[in-house]
């Protein structure tokens, strides 16, 4: 069965979705339009072409981007995406979301995002290493512990971060651990970073269920995407006592109303030749679109953008959506979900646990002193809980949904900073 995701479809543009919500927040805050436009557009866009010698001796040129949306609150921060579909508008939207996200969890960073148009699944480790090192060289004047700090995103992980820190350190002539986060632990990574985004999704789910008066033991959950964010969210949400009834990845959707053992699924993926869920036993095979419309209490989209759209929003049965992915709901679907009474914990809040622990990693690198996993988790959970309460209260204050409230809180903070710093 095909996965039927909308990813890469020209029908939806995440930048448009970002802009629509941004405009709503500008209106609510009564910000001057010209002033707001400074914060709408990215500060800097860098495009590079990276020549890589492939294993068969041929040379292939890969297009790469780095978008710095803002550095008003501190150095810009954001992951690097390796994907065949990555494009500039997508990276611009992702960079802006990083700005809002960092403001919401109250960490001293601006927002950025990177992307390289490639298919990491079809490349060897050596090819990926040469590509990552080439991208680092191309961005050597953009990246920096005090200027712009990358991290993993779709298609990249601790190994790519290790290559970046090594290449950047060579160029600068000294070890620069704090130039990138999401590193392997032995290279200055933080305990708890790999699980941090999923953990934040779990904290958001737990807090939202409590607000709704639903006991975890009475709730069911469906998770779309079974990579870093999806699999860890599913595992931690199931540990809360919620029954996971559906999971999915590129190979399709998998449903069992009696519950899916997430640990079994993680083990299955680890040992499967394609490293995905294809052939996972004791479940019904469904499409990714059917998965989103399953009967459940909580839906966690944790794959990619533009999954919940005006075409399927009417059919969503979940009472609570916790957005693990960035931009899984299009702006046009927001109103439909609101009308249906679905509580949506927006991406810029729900998945901010990752950047929070990235910040902790950067702090530890600069201190040269490393925290226990218990300390990392405790502080990250607290940051997520405080951010959730702030947005929930702002939603009540402005009489808007949590997504609009999140944009209002973030834009208020960043615009105040910009006003104080001033323009020329
Ligand atoms: P990942 O590469 O580890 O996993 C992505 C998952 O989505 C995989 O299971 C994959 O099979 C599935 N997927 C991807 N493309 C698909 C397609 N076309 N059809 C069907 N399934 C598809 O990525 P991740 O790090 O888990 O990121 C997932 C989302 O979460 C992205 O939107 C990312 O920007 C966001 N996010 C990630 C982090 C982080 O710390 N990793 C932090 C914040 C937000």
User: Higher confidence at residue 341 or residue 5?
Assistant: 341
Task: Tell the residue nearest (CA) to atom 28 of ligand 1.
Answer: 303
Listed residue (298, 217, 224) closest to 254, CA to CA: 224
34 occurs within a structural domain: no
314 occurs within a structural domain: yes
Predicted model pTM? 0.94
Distance CA 291, CA 232 (A): 18
174 occurs within a structural domain: yes
pLDDT-based confidence at residue 5 (cuts at 50, 70, 90): very low
pLDDT-based confidence at residue 11 (cuts at 50, 70, 90): low
Answer yes or no: is pLDDT of 113 > 70.
yes
Same domain membership, residue 181 and residue 133: yes
Let me know how long the chain is: 424
Contacts of 250 (CB under 8 A, 6+ apart): 3, 276
Q: Of the residues 187, 202, 222, which one is the last residue of a structural domain?
A: 187
Q: How many domains does the chain have?
A: 2
Same domain membership, residue 248 and residue 176: no
Q: How far is the CA of 173 from the centre of ligand 1 (A)?
A: 34
Same domain membership, residue 180 and residue 74: yes
Q: Of the residues 162, 187, 212, which one is the last residue of a structural domain?
A: 187
Q: How far is the CA of 37 from the centre of ligand 1 (A)?
A: 30
Same domain membership, residue 319 and residue 171: no
285 occurs within a structural domain: yes
Same domain membership, residue 222 and residue 168: no
278 occurs within a structural domain: yes
CB of 132 closer than 8 Å to CB of 165: no
| Domain CATH code at residue 87 | 3.40.50.10860
Q: Residue 12: its pLDDT value, please?
A: 82
Digit-coded pLDDT (tens) for 161-212: 999 999 999 999 999 999 999 999 999 999 999 999 999 999 999 999 999 9
Work out the mean pLDDT of the chain and round it to a whole number.
95
Same domain membership, residue 297 and residue 413: yes
Q: Of the residues 187, 203, 233, which one is the last residue of a structural domain?
A: 187
| Domain CATH code at residue 306 | 3.40.50.720
Distance CA 19, CA 337 (A): 19
Query: Which of 302, 307, 354 is the pocket-test mutation for ligand 1 (most atoms within 8 Å of CB)?
Result: 302
Of the residues 77, 101, 113, 319, only one is catalytic, namely: 113
Atom of ligand 1 lying closest to residue 324 CA: 30
pLDDT-based confidence at residue 10 (cuts at 50, 70, 90): low
Distance CA 198, CA 208 (A): 15
What average pLDDT does range 321-329 have in this prediction? 97
| Percentage above 90 pLDDT, the chain | 96
Atom of ligand 1 lying closest to residue 152 CA: 41
Same domain membership, residue 247 and residue 117: no
7 occurs within a structural domain: no
Answer yes or no: is pLDDT of 6 > 50.
no
Answer yes or no: is pLDDT of 8 > 70.
no
Listed residue (36, 16, 8, 25) closest to 117, CA to CA: 8
Answer yes or no: is pLDDT of 277 > 80.
yes
Task: Tell the residue nearest (CA) to atom 20 of ligand 1.
Answer: 250
Range of the domain at 176: 40-187
Same domain membership, residue 177 and residue 208: no
Distance CA 37, CA 26 (A): 10
Q: In what order do the strands lie in the sheet with 59-70?
A: 44-53, 59-70, 110-117, 76-83, 148-152
| Spacing of C-alpha 232 from chain mean position | 13
| Percentage above 70 pLDDT, the chain | 97
CB of 402 closer than 8 Å to CB of 391: yes
What average pLDDT does range 98-108 have in this prediction? 98
Digit-coded pLDDT (tens) for 355-364: 999 999 999 9
Same domain membership, residue 269 and residue 395: yes
32 occurs within a structural domain: no
CB of 5 closer than 8 Å to CB of 83: no
Residues lining ligand 1, CB < 6 A?
A: 3, 5, 7, 152-155, 197, 225-230, 249-250, 276, 288, 302-304, 324-326, 351, 354
13 occurs within a structural domain: no
Same domain membership, residue 400 and residue 317: yes
pLDDT-based confidence at residue 349 (cuts at 50, 70, 90): very high
- Which residues does residue 98 pair with via DSSP β-bridges, in sequence order? none
Q: How far is the CA of 227 from the centre of ligand 1 (A)?
A: 6
Digit-coded pLDDT (tens) for 225-269: 999 999 999 999 999 999 999 999 999 999 999 999 999 999 999
Is 397 known to be catalytic? no
Distances (CA, A) of 255 to 87, 237, 281, 357, 404: 32, 17, 10, 32, 32
Answer yes or no: is pLDDT of 415 > 90.
yes
Q: Residue 424: its pLDDT value, please?
A: 84
Same domain membership, residue 406 and residue 263: yes
Same domain membership, residue 159 and residue 79: yes
């Amino acid at each position: 069965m095909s996965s039927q995701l909308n990813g890469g479809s020209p029908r939806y543009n995440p930048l448009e979705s970002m802009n629509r919500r941004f405009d709503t927040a500008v209106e609510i805050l009564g910000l001057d339009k010209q002033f707001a436009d400074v914060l709408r557009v990215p500060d800097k866009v860098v495009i590079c072409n990276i020549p890589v010698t492939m294993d068969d001796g041929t040379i292939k040129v890969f297009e790469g981007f780095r978008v710095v949306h803002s550095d008003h609150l501190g150095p810009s921060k954001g992951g690097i995406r390796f994907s065949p579909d990555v494009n500039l508008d997508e990276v611009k939207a992702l960079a802006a979301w990083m700005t809002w996200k960092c403001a919401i969890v109250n960490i001293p960073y601006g927002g950025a995002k990177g992307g390289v148009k490639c298919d990491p699944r079809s490349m060897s480790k050596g090819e990926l290493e040469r590509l990552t090192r080439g991208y680092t060289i191309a961005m050597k004047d953009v990246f920096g512990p005090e200027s712009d700090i990358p991290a993993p995103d779709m298609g990249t992980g601790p190994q790519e971060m290790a290559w970046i820190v090594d290449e950047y350190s060579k160029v600068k002539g000294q070890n620069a651990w704090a130039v990138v986060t999401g590193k392997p632990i032995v290279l200055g990574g933080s305990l708890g970073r790999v699980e941090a985004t999923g953990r934040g999704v779990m904290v958001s789910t737990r807090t939202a269920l409590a607000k709704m008066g639903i006991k975890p033991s009475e709730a069911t959950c469906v998770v779309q995407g079974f990579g870093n964010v999806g699999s860890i969210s599913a595992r931690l949400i199931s540990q809360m006592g919620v029954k996971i009834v559906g999971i999915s990845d590129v190979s399709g959707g998998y449903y069992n109303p009696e519950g899916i053992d997430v640990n079994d699924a993680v083990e299955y993926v680890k040992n499967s030749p394609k490293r995905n869920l294809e052939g996972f036993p004791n479940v019904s095979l469904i499409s990714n679109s059917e998965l989103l419309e399953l009967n459940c209490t909580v839906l966690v989209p944790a794959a990619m953008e533009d999954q919940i759209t005006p075409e399927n929003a009417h059919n969503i049965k979940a009472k609570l959506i916790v957005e693990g992915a960035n931009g899984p709901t299009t702006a046009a679907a927001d109103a439909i979900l609101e009308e249906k009474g679905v509580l949506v914990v927006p991406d810029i809040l729900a998945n901010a646990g990752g950047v929070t622990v990235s910040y902790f990693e950067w702090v530890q690198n600069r201190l040269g002193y490393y925290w226990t996993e218990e300390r990392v988790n405790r502080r990250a959970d607290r940051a997520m809980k405080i951010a959730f309460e702030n947005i929930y209260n702002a939603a009540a204050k402005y009489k808007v949904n949590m997504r609009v409230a999140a944009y209002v809180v973030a834009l208020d903070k960043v615009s105040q900073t910009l006003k104080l710093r001033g323009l020329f």
